[in-house]
Structure 1
Amino acid sequence: MANDLGVTLGAKQLAAGVRFIRLTRKEGYHLVVGNPPYFGTQALADTRYIDHHYPQSRENLCTAMLDRSMQLLRRGGYIATVSARNWLYVSQLNKFRSRVLRQHGPCCAVDLGIGGFNALPGVEVMMTVLHAAAAEAVVVDVANQRGPAAKAAALLCPSRVYRTRPDKLARLPGSPFVYQWSEAFIEQYESSQLLGTVAPVRVGMKTSNNPRFVRKPWELSPAAVAAATTGGGDWVPYVKGAAGKAWLEPLSDLVSWREGGLEVRVALQAAYKQTPQGEKQFFKRGVAYSTIGRRFVARAHRYPSICDVAGSSVFPPDVPATVCLLNSRRCRQVVQALNPTINFQVGDVARVPYRLDRKAKAIFKIVERAFGEHERARETSVEFVRPGPSCWRYTQAWAQRAVDRPDGQRLPPYRPEYDAPDAAVQLSFAVGVALGRFAGAGGVAAQAPATALAHGLLFVSASDFPDTLAQPVCAPLLECWQRLGAAWRSFANLNDFLRRGFFEKVHKPMYQHRPIYFPLSSANKHFVAYAAIHRWQDDTLQILLDEHLVPERQRLEKALKAARISRQSRPHGASKDNDEPLASLVAELREFIECVAQVAQRGPPAAELNGAARERDACYAMCLSDGVMVNSAALWPLLWPQWKEPKKYWRNLCSRQGPKGKHFDWSAAAARYFPTRVEEGCASDPVVAVAHRRLWRHHPEVAYRWELTLGDGCTPTFSEPNAAHWRKRFMAHAPDVADAIRRRHDTLVRRRTKKRRAGA
């Protein structure tokens, strides 16, 4: 078309673009055909023109161009487009979509779904023909076909053809293009009470930096986790994404909430000029729903929690009834029709018809009981006792049948079928008992039992000398291997499996790449010491040297010396013992000892030959609140043979860039190895200062603002060393600044109070 008009539609030719705009005439065309771009206006350097001329459709270029097409069309004309289909569903375009359905409704459409074109395999596409006089739309659905060829063939002989009324769709809340709904269903839907009218549906909070603020429960001390489950402490339950979970939400994550979430609030203000979203619903029991995925599922909060953006939730008066409603097939079909993308939004859930099941409490009671049994048998659960059979898989399937049963029908019979714990689960528990993580009778041990291995170290060696496995405390572990070792036939024995297979095949995946037993290993994994992080002390590495590695080296050196003497004493020509394997073990162990000593006493080397090195030498110390990722970083040379990621973590720790621009200067490890950089960061950045409890010292105006904002959420001076001194100094040296902050705070409080009263 550009050649026919004598113009080139390139961004480099502004004059040609202006000429094209002048050539087009408003209400001048019988037919407008287009394939508009599939990206949002955020990609544009300047959006002022679109914002001004297309306020309802400015969300993306596709809808803005469709809006322009309606301006170009003369009465009785048609608009034909091939475009991304999300504009027909997303809540940001409700007003624009309603206008299209009322003024230029589709007369026919083809839902191609994903993979309609080879050039755009990941884009969900809809072909539409719009016409002002369209009283009925005929829609062909080939979205379930795979690939362009299959979709094209299905169009020749379509099996899924729907007829709908655009004007009726426009009357629905949000005006979604739910072409699959019959007129009877639309009438029933319009007469139903919607979930959003009886319960708030809220987007959750974003932390701005999950590696800093979010931890798996097993990364922290048992005392910190216990405090979180009872409503106290510096960490609180945090509901993130569904990740395969349904019906009930276990305690999967914890978020730092020291002093009323001061650190999170400072970081959010710095990053987005925002406060935590949905704060009125914090610690209220609700029902979280999947925000991303092909299948919509819901699960009830098990603990009073804060919700993440991906853990957005509804807070209903009846939790059991709502979780049964949202997991029903009928509700799932409604939600996925309202929004057939993979991103379910608050508005989609709020538009679900609120239809309660009288048997919901009975269903949920059975689900909750089975879930409790399952959690007591799941090692990474905060409720864990010991491995055991679980009927959770059966119960979920039964609950689905129960909520999908026809109206008036009785509940299906509940005859639970139990799945036995697999070999990996049982062996992992035996290792945990030996290391003192679990009590022999079951459950996470607050303090290591006296029968556990000393210092939380399990040392295994490829030599013929006795190692930790020879100790009586490891007898149950050996017995467990005798029963279950056949599951790992490629390993010669338990010693071999612990050195070469346990971490990679069992422990790391079970703990979701946040392991709690660090596999300190020699280069070829002939010498491996598992160190339990919850029993780690400042001298753990020195104890490993003194009680395991150095004595093992002495035994091997003595054996090597004896072998060489024996060989020299034999007659010439007699068969010689090959001492090379023994010499290789000695060399590997010596190198391992040197590496352990360096990390213990000075710190790790740079991750690359010319990479950034630590600022100063420092003895290794573990701080559980830093998290497994940061704590493993400085141990990377000892973990590298089995676990590669810590080297990357150390590289990030050595740089203020960090992953995705988020540095680790908030951590105790950064302060230990890079004190000057961290101190400079505290002085320049409140986000770093609050992490190291130096907010009053370096940013008193920020501290005072948050003191007023949080009120009773924290003490007037926070838990910061010498905070009272720095606060007093600020008040004395900058009274005008303090007074301005106070007056602004009072003004905001009055506005909020007035708004709240007006809403009431």
Structure 2
Amino acid sequence: MLKKLIVDFQHGDEFGSLITEERIDFSALTSELDQLNQNQLSFVLIPLIEKANAIIEVAKVLSQSYHVVIANPPYMGSSRMSSVLAKFAKKEYPNSKSDLFSMFIERWNNAILPGGYNCMVTMQSWMFLSSFEKMRKNILAKYTISNLMHMENNVMGIAFGTAVTIFRNAAMPDFKGTYHQIKTADVAKQAPVSLPIPGNRFNRTNQANFGKIPGSPIAYWVKKSTYQSYEQNPTLMDVYHPEVGMTTSNNKLFVRKWFEVSMTECNMFDGKENKWFPYAKGGGYRKWFGLENEIVNWAHNGQSIKNYRKYGAQKTAAVRNENDYFKIGITWSAVTSGRFSARLLPANHIFDSGGSSIFPSSEDRIMILGIMNSIIMDENLLIKNPTLNFQPSDIGSLPVISQKDGRAENVVKQNINIARIDWDTFENSWNFELHPLLLHIADDNLSIWYYAMVLTNQCAKNVPIFQLWGVK
């Protein structure tokens, strides 16, 4: 037993109170060490015995159960963990290994007595992200969330959302927990003006409702109709499979803006014999059509990119879902500073990991695009993932509330056409022909040349048009 303790605490300074000790007879260990102390010992054994006694005292504390635990555990994502800590996390905390704080939640939930409470101040990410799904389901099955205070970025003076959660070690199927939100604007002198704050997401709800949404997010504010939409409709993943595209791992080598290479080497429209091909790789917020800026070196069916990984230059390069390259589909930006937006993916494109895509049938494409750009989709995404990082699993788990309505499809088609015309109005489109303002200038060669130069360059700098004409 002593040997096991010494091994467990070999990295005690790194693992801290994440270490657990059970079924150890500490009295017997202490007695054995006391007997050794009665003998004449070498100077080597004396410090070892002192060290062993110190480990036993810490292990006693960590082996106990408690009525109440209160903590603000440290944060560290798995990508920043040392190899020793990452290995420990995978072995001891497989459900919560994604972050140090979530491991502390699991560890101390297990250490509270029946009916006891564990209060933790942590990041909000465990409430929503798919990497914490197993942890959430375990909590909802074994524990009761008594109270949860959900705080926006900077409420606690830190640049991310946080949650103060009180877990109770009791299964209470009929219990309604209390949940509420604090926004940054609601805080004065580092404290909320009142609790709960009128107009914010205050709700008393049964946590069993969370399991009605795929991934069991702690979506405490949603209405009954939202839960019903998940129960009564298939998810997007059930109908069509959202996909992650290619990762070149060296965009400086393989990716260009379309205007950086000769058009004779670009394949913008037909065939597959050229070197450069349109590349959908996200790019921010834009609905319906556009953001077609990049091209990728796909000469000889992507031989250079495939060899880049094959011969060890960069193992993270990946050509995924190649069978769907050059198909008409729908794409979106995986990371954006705005809300979710989807747009048409033309047939001549390859898609990137940052421009994840989905490929509905031609009969459903317009309907699916309309659903993805709807307010309902936007609100549901805030339930699944409030971090503005939209992965295929997040999109795929959303309900498809389908209505065969020709009027709605006509509106979607009109929106696509308006967005296409708007995109082609400016020079960043490869279909650009003439700035629309030039259409209204008198047919004079000198003035056309002058205004073409001025308007094209100055409008890009957001200079109001009336200033260009000398109007104050």
Normalising by the residue count of structure 1, what TM-score does the alignment of the two structures yield? 0.49
String of CA shifts for 1:171-220, please: whole Å, max 9, x gaps.
43211111111334313322211111000111222110111111111111
Distance in structure 2 (CA, Å) of the matches to 1:84 and 1:17: 31
Q: Quick check: which one's helix share is greater? A: 1
Match of 1:582 in 2: none
Cα deviation for residue 334 of structure 1 reads 0.4
Matched, 1:378 2:426: yes
Please say if residues 216 and 254 of structure 1, whose CA atoms lie closer than 8 Å, have aligned partners that are also in contact.
yes
Counterpart residue type for residue 129 of structure 1: I
How high is the sequence identity, in percent, across the aligned residues?
A: 24
Kept after mapping to 1: 8 A contact 2:180/2:196: no
Which residue of 50, 61, 84 corresponds with 1:23? 61
Whole-Å separation in 2 of the counterparts to 1:61 and 1:301: 39
Rate the CA distance shift 1:316–1:482 in 2: closer, same or farther, 3 A. Answer: closer
1:498 aligned residue: none
- In the other structure, the counterpart of 2:218 is 177
Q: Tell me by how many angstroms 1:25 deviates.
A: 2.4
State the shift of 1:100 in Å: 0.8
Q: Secondary structure at the match of 1:155?
A: coil
The letter of the residue matching 2:292 is L
Which residue of 1 is the match for residue 466 of structure 2? Answer: none
> Per-residue deviation at 1:138?
1.2
CA drift of 1:223 comes to: 2.1
**In the alignment, what sits opposite 1:285?**
328
Alignment of 1:328 with 2:385, yes or no, is no
Partner of 1:201: 242
Aligned mate of 1:237, from 263, 278, 283: 278
Residue number in structure 1 paired with 2:413: 365
- Secondary structure in 2 matching 1:188: helix
TM-superposition CA deviations, 1:596-619 (whole Å, max 9, x none): xxxxxxxxxxxxxxxxxxxxxxxx
1:80 counterpart SS class? strand
Equivalent residue, structure 2, for 1:306: 350
Distance, in Å, in 2 between the alignment partners of 1:182 and 1:308 is 35
1:64–1:17: structure 2 CA closer, same or farther, 3 Å change rule?
farther
* 1:399-448 CA distance string (max 9 Å, x none): xxxxxxxxxxxxxxxxxxxxx5799xx9xxxxxxxxxxxxxx9xxxxxxx
Q: In the aligned structure 2, how far is the partner of 1:190 from the partner of 1:347? A: 18
Tell me whether 1:354 sits opposite 2:400 in the alignment: yes
User: 2:122·2:163 contact (CA, 8 Å) conserved in 1?
Assistant: yes
1:712 matched residue in structure 2: none
* Equivalent residue for 2:115, pick from 56, 64, 76: 76
Equivalent of residue 145 in structure 1, options 168, 180, 185: 185
The letter for the 2-side match of 1:383 is N
Whole-Å separation in 1 of the counterparts to 2:253 and 2:260: 13
- Work out which of the residue numbers 199, 218, 237 in structure 1 matches 2:259: 218
CA shift in 2, pair 1:304/1:22, >3 Å: farther
Paired residues of 1:115 and 1:148 also in contact (CA < 8 A): no
CA contact (8 A) 1:251 1:302 kept: no
- The partner residue of 2:69 within 32, 41, 47 is 32
Higher relative contact order by CA 8 Å / sep ≥ 6: 1 or 2?
2
Aligned residue for 1:336, secondary structure, equals helix
Provide the C-alpha distance between the structure 2 equivalents of 1:231 and 1:153, rounded to a whole number of angstroms: 64
SS in 2 for 1:75: strand
Distance 2:243 2:189 in 1: 42
Matched, 1:107 2:146: yes
CA RMSD of aligned residues (A): 3.1
Q: Given that residues 164 and 183 in structure 1 are in contact (C-alpha distance below 8 angstroms), is that contact kept between their aligned partners in structure 2? A: no
Match for residue 295 of structure 1 among 339, 342, 347 = 339
Q: Distance in 2 between matches of 1:315 and 1:124?
A: 34
CA displacement at 1:256 relative to structure 2: 0.6
Offset of residue 240 of structure 1: 1.2
Alignment of 1:456-467 (within 5 A): none
Name the CA shift for 1:156/1:137 in 2 (closer, same or farther; >3 Å).
Answer: closer
- Report the CA distance shift for 1:343/1:12 in structure 2 as closer, same or farther (over 3 A): closer
Kept in 1: contact 2:141–2:171 (CA 8 A): no
Amino acid at match of 2:286: K
Take 1:421 and 1:94, find their aligned partners in 2: how far apart are those partners? 55
Change (3 A) 1:248 1:157: closer
- Do structure 1's residue 44 and structure 2's residue 81 form an aligned pair? yes
Runs of 5+ consecutive residues of structure 1 not aligned to the other structure: 1-8, 389-419, 427-440, 442-474, 488-501, 511-760
Contact 1:169 1:177 in 2 (8 A): yes
Residue pairs, 1:478-493, within 5 angstroms? 480-481=449-450
Provide closer, same or farther for how the CA distance between residues 300 and 153 of structure 1 changes in structure 2, counting only shifts above 3 A: same
Q: Cα gap change, 1:140/1:268 in structure 2, threshold over 3 Å: closer, same or farther?
A: same
Return the letter of the residue paired with 2:418. Answer: A
Go from structure 1 to structure 2 and tell me whether the alpha carbon gap of 1:12 and 1:197 turns closer, same or farther (over 3 Å shift). Answer: closer
Give the Cα separation in 2 of the matches to 1:183 and 1:483. Answer: 56
Distance 1:241 1:111 in 2: 30
Equivalent-residue separation in structure 2 for 1:130 and 1:368 (angstroms): 48
TM-score, normalised with respect to structure 2 = 0.77
1:272 and 1:25, CA in 2 relative to 1: closer, same or farther beyond 3 A?
A: same
TM-superposed deviation, 1:86: 0.6
Q: Once the 2 structures are TM-superposed, how far is the Cα of residue 242 of structure 1 from its aligned partner? A: 3.7
Structure label with greater radius of gyration: 1
Distance 2:193 2:308 in 1: 54
Gap regions ≥5 residues in structure 2: 1-11, 18-50, 464-472
Which segment drifts farther, 28-37 or 368-377?
368-377
